[in-house]
Chains A and B, each alone.
Chain A
Amino acid sequence: MTDAPLVQLKNIGKEFANGVVALEELNLTIHAGEFLSLLGPSGCGKSTALRLIADLSTPSQGQIEWHQGHDARQTLGFVFQDSTLMPWTSVYNNVWLPLRLAGVSKSQADYRIHEVLDLVGLRAFESAYPGELSGGMKMRASIARALIQRPQLLLMDEPFAALDEITRLKLNNDLLQLKAELAMTIVFVTHSVYESVYLSNRIAVFASRPGRIVRQIEIDAPYPRDLSFRHSELYAKSCQDASEALQSAMSEQDHL
């Protein structure tokens, strides 16, 4: 189901102003339609890689090449770890924001706003303020906002890390369903082995100082995935592989 490359990171290096090398010699190809997880210990540069793709930060070395025209780049969706909603206004206005900034009026955007709110199951809460929602609902609103521009590429930076286990499992399933419905490419940063195995086609395991990819694991299970996948041998095997890769990445770090 994965095919042509969508974005390629070539020999990317990123050094911060304080001299910390966040990434070194990073090569990563993101294929159209895949679900790619970036897995690693905290501080390994996986979030930095995501920010570089989103153009929120510029690489010190190397290039980022976009393949399929500029559409994917223009409509890019981004979901932050905390839901990052504007607390002073309603869910509706928060979801409208990307279109509003692009000059789309409320009446023009209305249909689209309701469509994405339906997708994430928040239609009934459109006039609620973020402070009135639970953590999971805030994250849904944040996802709705990221979806409003019909992104080809959705970048997610540990979106469910702060949520409780039950909410997280529910949102994992909902995310897979959204991906299937909208035919998006997703790059998902996480530090959870189980989450990355359950969701992705491919996992890039990062090591830190300097941040780099130490191993890539393909997970050859078909979608849709459900509870039976969690009980399958492939799931267990992939979790073991990913854990081992993560362990070795982290023990390497200890030697430094």
Chain B
Amino acid sequence: MARATPPSRAQRSYALARDWLIHSALPLLVFLASLAVWEGLVWLKSIPPYLLPAPSRIATTLIADWDTLSASLYVTLRITFAALFAAMFGGVGLAIVFTQWKWAERSFFPFAVILQVTPIVAIAPLLLVYLDSTLAVLTCAFLVAFFPILSNTALGLASADRHLVDLFQLYRASRWQQLIWLRLPAALPYFLGGLRIGGGLALIGAIVAEIAAGSAGQGAGLAFRIVESGYRLNIPRMFAALVLISITGILIFLFFTLLSHLLLGRWHESARKTES
């Protein structure tokens, strides 16, 4: 039987180039092409910018209105991340409480479910009555981001390998030793999955709540800019704000994906590279 020879340097660099083409260059090209088609259509049909602005117009608006937009971006980012951090600590903390004390899970899980299944747009107006608008928006973003983190972490804490649980019992591990050295590490992949979903949802929650809050907002976030630009028929600025929201969402997703790879890369199937 012939043994496979290791690939030569030329073969390897060819494979690398091909991988780069498929993974990075191709999606980028398709994206740029679709922008070009959009731009072309707007020019060809001479569509006015208050109906559909061309990508170039959106870009110039983004630069021209940067002062206003960046201030709004900062507001939205601050709320999103504050909500996400609160959801992270709250979700993990409550998940730990739930797994340590079954009665707590029985008693409080229904509340978490009720808050989750009630659409946030329906809760937002009520929160605006009771809380000042910034806090109300923050609470909405927290509520939507909280549940996936809680339920994923709780699932992870409960799904530690049965034999490993036996092993810890055999070596007379205390409940807290079992939590720290077995259940928390076993829950890490689930927690990170929840965090990735929660990160996206925190942004969505913040935007939805801001729209519900409407003009009541003092520190005006990106969603408020969209609503405001709509009233003023400033469609290019609407698109510019939308672009910033999308980019924020993508960056949040990429950040947590990268974090998962860094933390799980060496041991969890979801992050391990397949051997070929």
- Binary contact readout B244-276 vs A (1 if CB under 8 angstroms, 0 otherwise): 000000000000000000000011100010000
Interface centre among B182, B188, B266 (most CB of A within 10 A): B266
In the docked arrangement, what's the CA distance between A80 and B173, Å? Answer: 18
Answer yes or no: A227 CB below 8 A from chain B CBs: no
Whether A129 is near chain B, meaning CB under 8 Å from some CB there, is yes
Q: Does B161 contact A (CB under 8 A)?
A: yes
B267–A84 contact, CB under 8 A?
Answer: no
| Known contacts A82-B163, A97-B181, A129-B267, A88 near B170 by CB under 8 Å | no
B170–A54 touching, CB < 8 Å: yes
Residue pair B272, A89 in contact (C-beta under 8 Å): no
Using Cβ atoms and an 8 Å threshold, which residues of chain B touch A198?
Answer: none
- Interface residues in A153-176 by Cβ distance below 8 A to B read none
B185 touches A88 (CB 8 A): yes
Instruction: Known contacts A88-B267, A129-B267; decide if A80 and B185 are in contact (CB<8 Å).
Output: no
Whether the pair A97, B266 counts as a contact (CB closer than 8 A) is: no
Q: Roughly how many angstroms separate A100 CA and B266 CA in the complex, as a whole number?
A: 23
Q: Nearest chain-A residue to B189 (Cβ)? A: A88
B3 at the interface (CB under 8 A from A): no
Q: How many residues does chain A have at the interface if contact means C-beta atoms less than 8 Å apart?
A: 21
Residue B167 interfacial (CB < 8 Å): yes
Given contacts A101-B177, A102-B171, contact A80 B166 (CB under 8 A): yes
Question: Is B23 in contact with chain A by the CB < 8 A criterion?
Answer: no
Q: Is the CB of A86 within 8 A of B163?
A: no
A56 and B185 in contact, given A88-B267, A129-B266 (Cβ under 8 angstroms): no
Using Cβ atoms and an 8 Å threshold, which residues of chain A touch B177?
101
Interface residues of B in 136-172 (CB under 8 A from A): 161, 163-164, 166-172
Q: Would you give the shortest CB distance from B148 to chain A, in whole angstroms?
A: 22
- Can you name the residue of chain A whose Cβ is closest to the Cβ of B188? A88
Chain B 188-202 residues near chain A, CB threshold 8 A: 188
Closest CB in chain B relative to A143 CB, distance in Å = 13
Assuming the A-B contacts A88-B185, A88-B188, are A78 and B272 also in contact, with contact meaning beta carbons closer than 8 angstroms in the complex? no
Cβ of B182 and Cβ of A86 under 8 Å apart? yes
Contact of A86 among B164, B166, B170 (CB under 8 A): B164
* CB < 8 Å neighbour of B170 from A56, A87, A129, A131: A56
In the complex the two chains form, is A78's CB within 8 Å of B170's CB? yes
Residues from chain A with Cβ under 8 Å of B188 in the complex: 88
In the complex, A54 Cα to B182 Cα: how many Å? 20
Question: B residues within 8 A CB of A78?
Answer: 166-167, 170
Contacts A88-B185, A97-B181, A131-B272 known; A56 to B266 CB distance under 8 Å? no
State whether the Cβ of A76 lies closer than 8 Å to any Cβ in chain B: yes
Distance in Å: Cβ of B107 to nearest Cβ of chain A: 25
Do A87 and B166 touch across chains, with their CB atoms under 8 A apart?
Answer: no
A59-109, CB < 8 A from B? 76, 78, 80, 82, 84, 86-89, 97-98, 100-102
CA distance A218 to B249 in the complex (A): 70
**Across-interface contacts of B272 in A (CB, < 8 A):** 131
Bound Cα distance A90, B170 (Å): 21
Tell me whether B267 and A80 are in contact (CB under 8 A): no
Give the residue name and chain of the B residue nearest to A55 (CB).
Answer: B170
Taking a contact as CB atoms under 8 Å apart, the answer to whether A101 and B172 are in contact is: yes
| Residue contact A56 to B169, C-beta cutoff 8 Å | yes
Closest beta carbon of chain B to A221's beta carbon, Å: 32
Q: Which of B171, B182, B186, B267 contacts A98 (CB 8 A)?
A: B171
Q: How far is the CA of A102 from the CA of B166 in the complex (A)?
A: 16
Taking the nearest CB of chain A, how far is it from the CB of B263, in angstroms?
Answer: 9
**Contacting A87 at CB < 8 Å: which of B171, B173, B267?**
B267
> What's the nearest-Cβ distance from chain B to residue A22, in Å?
16
Q: Kindly supply a per-residue 1/0 record for chain A positions 33-55, scoring 1 wherever the CB is within 8 Å of any chain B CB and 0 otherwise.
A: 00000000000000000010011
Which chain B residues lie closer than 8 Å to A100 at the CB level? 181
Chain B residues with CB below 8 A from A84, complex form = 161, 163-164, 167
A197, B170: Cα distance in complex, Å: 29
How far is A100 from B268 in the complex, measured between Cα atoms in Å?
Answer: 23
Nearest A residue to B172 by beta-carbon distance?
A101
Chain A residues with CB under 8 A of B169: 56
Report which of A55, A76, A87, A97 forms a contact with B268, defined as CB distance below 8 A. A87
C-alpha gap A88/B170 in the complex (Å): 20
Which residues from B are CB-within-8-Å of A51? 166
20 A–B contacts from the bound complex (CB under 8 Å) = A55-B170, A56-B169, A56-B170, A76-B170, A78-B167, A80-B163, A82-B163, A84-B161, A84-B164, A86-B181, A86-B185, A87-B267, A88-B268, A89-B185, A89-B267, A97-B181, A100-B181, A101-B173, A102-B171, A131-B267
Pairs A-B, 9 closest by C-beta atoms: A84-B163, A88-B185, A101-B171, A87-B267, A80-B163, A101-B173, A98-B171, A88-B267, A129-B267
Question: Told that A82-B163, A86-B164 touch, could you supply 7 new A-B pairs with CB distance under 8 A?
Answer: A54-B170, A56-B170, A84-B164, A87-B267, A87-B268, A100-B181, A129-B267
